[in-house]
Amino acid sequence: MVFLCDHLEKMLISEKASMLSANANAYTFEVNPDATRTDVKNSVEAYFKVTVKQVRIINCKGKVKHSRIRKALPGVVGKKKKAIVFLKKGQHIEVK
């Protein structure tokens, strides 16, 4: 069973994200790598009680890092998935 909060990990606050929220009524979230557009849309609508107009997904590739101890086994770090959620006109999410 998957809970609604399992899809949203955290809200991203950066210069680009704050410009999007001010100009385009869009908010940026870091989401679970297994989450789909509909999962993100349903989670945001249920958690924040707003109406979502559009969801855009961004897959950020991680960097390959080599361990100093086990040089033969490289690992990937920093891999994440972001979602930009556009809300209907007149609605907003409180950012604390």
Q: Is residue 68 included in any domain, yes or no?
A: yes
Q: Which domain holds residue 77?
A: 4-87
How many structural domains does the chain have?
1
Percent of the chain with pLDDT over 70: 96
Q: What is the mean pLDDT of residues 35-62?
A: 95
CATH number assigned to the domain comprising residue 21: 3.30.70.330
State the pLDDT at residue 1. Answer: 46
With cut-offs at 50, 70 and 90, classify the pLDDT of residue 75.
Answer: confident
Report yes or no on 93 lying in a domain. no
**Residue 44 belongs to some domain of the structure:** yes
pLDDT value of residue 45? 94
Whether 22 has a pLDDT exceeding 80, the answer reads yes
pTM of the shown model: 0.84
How far CA 46 is from CA of 4, 13, 38, 85, 90, in Å, comes to 8, 21, 12, 14, 18
Terminus-to-terminus CA distance in the chain, angstroms? 30
